[in-house]
């Protein structure tokens, strides 16, 4: 059977499952729409949160980032897992006890102010919208590669599926589709790596292979040592050494951690379980399920890099493995024969400026595709798109076609599950917090759900538009920046709302606005306006959310100390959420 | 009522202690071992398999540590809940 047929079978089966679950779990009330009815088991919620959390970017790109930058990539590995420790110990048990269904709901009640609620709604929409655009783009790219269709068509297909189960089923539909999606993702991610690990290191556990010996081709040498030596030979930074400054590394990791703890689509997942005790148990499961994939990524990254160097460097193009040529046909790999020797040289620097622009179907002397880009003077002759690391690894390891199809299904699952979670936050922020709590307090349960469905449709249309027409490289970058925005707005405000009785509405409102505007302005300035790299204290835009977070903290505390304390009933409420028992079911 | 309030306060203080210790270890294994003191760790700590200690902490050790920390948090918080009479079925 050809690869295409396998792809159709796997994508078809998984989509069938998602749609089946959506029909089974159609939400009948706002309670089911917002919190899946409140009785999701800790284990199921753990899996669902894992799928919700791992986006197309994590699934497709993370191993590629590790392969390209070695130690430096640890900022993502630690940042995105370490955030769950913050989330679990400081946030979700208390927010679950509070017992409402959305994040702006907590902020609106805790800071007894419609303005605070409005600012929170705005922040939530802003964060989720930047994030969801990237997911839609991801779905489009995977589909276009799978079925050779336009990216736009791919985005529309993905969008319709998401609307079908997120819009109709709400949280209930999302929860159980995400459980299925996690299962697809975890098999798709780990199985190929196990085979690669066996081939390269003889170790069936990839995590052990990472710290083990390279055994392919006879003599056993320490794998990391081999990679470091190769790197030195090629003139690039050692794999186990970083090139980022300690300050930058620290700030980016911290911003990602705090951002994780402030992301509304992750927080709301914990409103679906029964009690505070179940929240803690569920958080353990979540991190466990995420860790399976996050511990596999560094192994995959190292294996892929080793393969890349080992199988390509100083080999003639005609002998290059077939995956190299397949991905070259897709325009994801390119080779420029700078010294006209017909041999692939991989080394320091870039092969050419920017992404490859292929010169039609023209082929060079060795049969390689010709690029129109301006060639650099660096010795490197190979360009590869980092995103192919996960997509191409089954092929690199010579695995069967059905496994390649499984990886494709995993990519789609990763993008769809995150998009659905974000869509839910967007639609509930609008229907519940904006319509019900601010604009039209007298709407019925049924009308509120109708607004939620309309809002999710509207949000999806906008997200799809930007997925099809991305504002330059804006989308890919803003996914990482969404964390900085969450770290500088929601994280400090929620934290102070829970742990301080003194912080009041004036402080919280001004603090949130200052934090998010500073972070946003810094990102926009250094990403789009200033060409130079004169970062403030050497902190790159990725890590600036950490500084924005401190600005939020300081502004909130200073303003709160000059303005009157919150009313007694709010102080009582803060005391109430600190007691774990008697959470009851989440209401709205 | 006042007794209940007292136990609530005791419980809150106890939970802050647990969270404090967990977060201290959390910061130490990630920011400490893997970033700030990394060079020292690489040079002076035994390597894990073939990986230098700091590098291993950054790529694997800290993640394993986070999972264990959450297990410990859950265990101690549940115990604290029981002690102050806030225990629940899950």
Q: Considering only alpha carbons, which residue of chain B is nearest residue A75?
A: B58
Using the predicted structure, report yes or no on whether residue A585 has a pLDDT greater than 60. no
Using the predicted structure, report yes or no on whether residue A107 has a pLDDT greater than 80. yes
**Interstrand relation of A358-363 and A333-335 (parallel, antiparallel or unpaired):** unpaired
Q: Which residue has the higher pLDDT, A211 or A506?
A: A506
In angstroms, rounded to a whole number, what is the distance separating the alpha carbons of residues A427 and A445?
Answer: 15
The answer to whether the beta carbons of residues A238 and A232 sit under 8 Å apart is yes
Q: What is the pLDDT of residues A452-479, one digit of tens each?
A: 888 888 988 988 888 887 765 555 566 6
Close Cβ partners of A198 (under 8 Å, ≥ 6 residues apart): A204
In angstroms, rounded to a whole number, what is the distance separating the alpha carbons of residues A309 and A231?
Answer: 9
Q: Which CATH architecture has domain A10-304+399-582?
A: Up-down Bundle (1.20)
The answer to whether the beta carbons of residues A120 and A107 sit under 8 Å apart is yes
Q: What is the pLDDT of residues A201-231, one digit of tens each?
A: 888 888 887 877 887 777 777 877 778 787 7
**Inter-chain CB proximity B35 and A298 less than 8 Å:** no
The answer to whether the beta carbons of residues A328 and A249 sit under 8 Å apart is no
Put simply, whether A89 touches B (Cβ < 8 Å) is: yes
Task: Indicate the SS3 state at residue A315.
Answer: strand
Helices (H), A40-113: 42-53, 56, 62-69, 74-86, 92-98, 103-110
Q: What is the DSSP string of A527-568?
A: III--S---GGG--GGGHHHHHHHHHHHHHHHHHHHSPPPPH
* Among A496, A34, A421, A135, CA closest to A266: A421
| pLDDT band for position B26 (cuts 50, 70, 90) | very high
Question: What are the angstrom distances between the C-alpha of A495 and each of A94, A101, A454, A457, A488?
Answer: 10, 18, 32, 32, 12
State the nearest Cα–Cα gap between A559 and chain B, in angstroms. 25
What pLDDT score does B1 carry? 43
Domain boundaries, chain A: 10-304+399-582
Rounded to a whole number of angstroms, the CA Rg of chain B reads 18
State the nearest Cα–Cα gap between B34 and chain A, in angstroms. 9
Close Cβ partners of A64 (under 8 Å, ≥ 6 residues apart): A301, A304, A385, A386, A387, A388, A389, A390
Using the predicted structure, report yes or no on whether residue B4 has a pLDDT greater than 80. no
State the DSSP code for A430.
I
User: Could you tell me the pTM of the whole model?
Assistant: 0.89
State the nearest Cα–Cα gap between B84 and chain A, in angstroms. 10
CB-nearest to A78 from B23, B58, B89 is: B58
Put simply, whether A244 touches B (Cβ < 8 Å) is: no
Q: What is the mean pLDDT of residues A369-377?
A: 78
In the numeric block, the tokens 């679906």 are attached to A272
The answer to whether the beta carbons of residues A214 and A221 sit under 8 Å apart is yes
* Among A78, A7, A1, CA closest to A410: A7
Out of A71-85, A305-319, A440-454, least confident range: A305-319
State the nearest Cα–Cα gap between A283 and chain B, in angstroms. 8
Residues A229-256 as b/e (b if ≥16 CB within 10 A, e otherwise) read ebbeebebbbbbbbebeebbbbbbbbbb
Q: What is the pLDDT of residues B27-75, one digit of tens each?
A: 999 988 888 888 888 888 888 888 888 888 888 999 999 999 999 999 9
Put simply, whether A82 touches B (Cβ < 8 Å) is: yes
Residues B22-46 as b/e (b if ≥16 CB within 10 A, e otherwise) read bbebbeebbbbbbbbbbeebbeeee
Q: Considering only alpha carbons, which residue of chain B is nearest residue A279?
A: B90
The answer to whether the beta carbons of residues A134 and A475 sit under 8 Å apart is yes
What pLDDT score does B44 carry? 83
Out of A107-111, A146-150, A205-209, A519-523, least confident range: A146-150
Using the predicted structure, report yes or no on whether residue B23 has a pLDDT greater than 90. yes
Q: What is the pLDDT of residues A405-419, one digit of tens each?
A: 888 888 888 888 888
| pLDDT band for position A556 (cuts 50, 70, 90) | very high
- Taking contacts as CB-CB distances below 8 angstroms, the residues of chain A near B22 are 85, 89
The answer to whether the beta carbons of residues A222 and A437 sit under 8 Å apart is no
Percent of chain A with pLDDT over 90: 15
**Residue of A44, A83, A84, A89 to mutate, testing the B interface (most B Cβ within 10 Å of its Cβ):** A89
Query: Between A and B, how many residue pairs show a Cβ–Cβ distance under 8 A?
Result: 137
DSSP E strand boundaries for A129-258: 213-214, 221-222
What ipTM was reported for this prediction? 0.92
Average pLDDT score, chain A = 83
């Amino acid at each position: 059977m050809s690869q295409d047929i396998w792809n159709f079978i796997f994508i078809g089966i998984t989509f069938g499952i998602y749609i089946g679950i959506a029909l089974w779990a159609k939400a009948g009330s706002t309670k089911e729409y917002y919190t899946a009815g409140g009785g999701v088991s800790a284990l199921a919620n753990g899996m669902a949160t894992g799928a919700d959390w791992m986006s197309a970017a994590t699934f497709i790109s993370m191993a590629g980032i590790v392969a390209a930058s070695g130690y430096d990539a640890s900022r993502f590995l630690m940042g995105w897992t370490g955030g769950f420790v913050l989330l679990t110990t400081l946030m979700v048990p208390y927010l679950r006890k509070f017992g409402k269904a959305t994040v702006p709901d907590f902020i609106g009640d805790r800071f007894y102010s419609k303005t605070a609620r409005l600012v929170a709604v705005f922040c939530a929409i802003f964060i989720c919208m930047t994030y969801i655009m990237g997911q839609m783009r991801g779905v489009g790219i995977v589909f276009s590669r799978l079925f050779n269709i336009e990216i736009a068509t791919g985005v529309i297909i993905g969008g319709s599926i998401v609307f079908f189960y997120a819009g109709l089923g709400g949280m209930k539909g999302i929860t159980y589709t995400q459980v299925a999606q996690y299962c697809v993702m975890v098999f798709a991610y780990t199985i190929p790596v196990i085979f690669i690990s066996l081939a390269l290191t003889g170790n069936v556990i990839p995590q052990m292979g990472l710290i083990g010996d390279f055994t392919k081709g006879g003599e056993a040498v320490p794998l990391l040592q081999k990679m470091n030596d190769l790197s030195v030979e090629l003139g690039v930074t050692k794999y186990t050494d970083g090139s980022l400054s300690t300050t930058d590394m620290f700030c980016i990791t911290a911003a990602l951690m705090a951002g994780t703890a402030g992301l509304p689509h992750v927080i709301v997942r914990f409103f679906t379980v029964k009690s505070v005790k179940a929240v803690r148990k569920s958080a353990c499961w979540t991190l466990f399920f995420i860790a399976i994939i996050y511990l596999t990524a560094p192994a995959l990254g190292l294996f892929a890099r080793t393969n890349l160097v080992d199988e390509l460097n100083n080999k003639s193009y005609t002998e290059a493995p077939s995956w190299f040529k397949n991905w070259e046909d897709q325009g994801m790999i390119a080779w420029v024969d700078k010294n006209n020797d017909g041999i692939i040289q991989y080394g320091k620097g870039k092969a050419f400026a920017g992404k490859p622009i292929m010169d039609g179907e023209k082929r060079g002397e060795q049969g390689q595709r010709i690029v129109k880009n301006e060639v650099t003077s660096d010795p490197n002759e190979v360009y590869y798109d980092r995103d192919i690391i996960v997509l191409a690894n089954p092929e690199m390891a010579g695995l069967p076609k059905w496994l390649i199809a499984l990886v494709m299904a995993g990519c789609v699952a990763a993008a769809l599950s995150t998009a659905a979670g974000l869509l839910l936050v967007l639609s509930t922020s609008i229907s519940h917090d904006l319509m019900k709590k601010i604009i039209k307090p007298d709407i019925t349960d049924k009308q509120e759900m109708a607004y939620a469905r309309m809002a999710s449709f509207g949000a999806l249309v906008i997200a799809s538009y930007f997925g099809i027409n991305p504002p330059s490289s804006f989308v890919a970058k803003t996914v990482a920046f969404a964390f900085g925005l969450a770290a500088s707005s929601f994280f400090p405000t929620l934290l102070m709302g829970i742990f301080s009785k003194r912080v009041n509405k004036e402080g919280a409102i001004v603090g949130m606005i200052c934090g998010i505007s500073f972070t946003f302005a810094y990102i926009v300035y250094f990403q789009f306006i200033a060409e130079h790299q004169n970062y403030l204290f050497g902190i790159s835009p990725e890590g600036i959310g950490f500084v924005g977070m401190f600005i939020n903290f300081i502004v909130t505390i200073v303003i709160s100390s000059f303005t009157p304390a919150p009313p007694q009933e709010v102080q009582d409420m803060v005391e109430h959420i600190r007691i774990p028992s008697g959470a009851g079911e989440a209401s709205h | 009522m006042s007794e209940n309030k007292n136990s609530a306060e005791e419980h809150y203080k106890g939970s802050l202690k647990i969270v404090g210790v967990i977060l201290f270890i959390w910061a130490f294994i990630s920011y400490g071992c893997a970033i700030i003191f990394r060079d020292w760790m690489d040079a002076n700590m035994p390597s894990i398999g073939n990986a230098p200690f700091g590098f291993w902490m950054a790529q694997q050790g800290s993640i394993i540590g986070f999972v264990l920390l959450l297990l410990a948090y859950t265990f101690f918080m549940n115990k604290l809940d029981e002690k102050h009479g806030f225990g629940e079925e899950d």
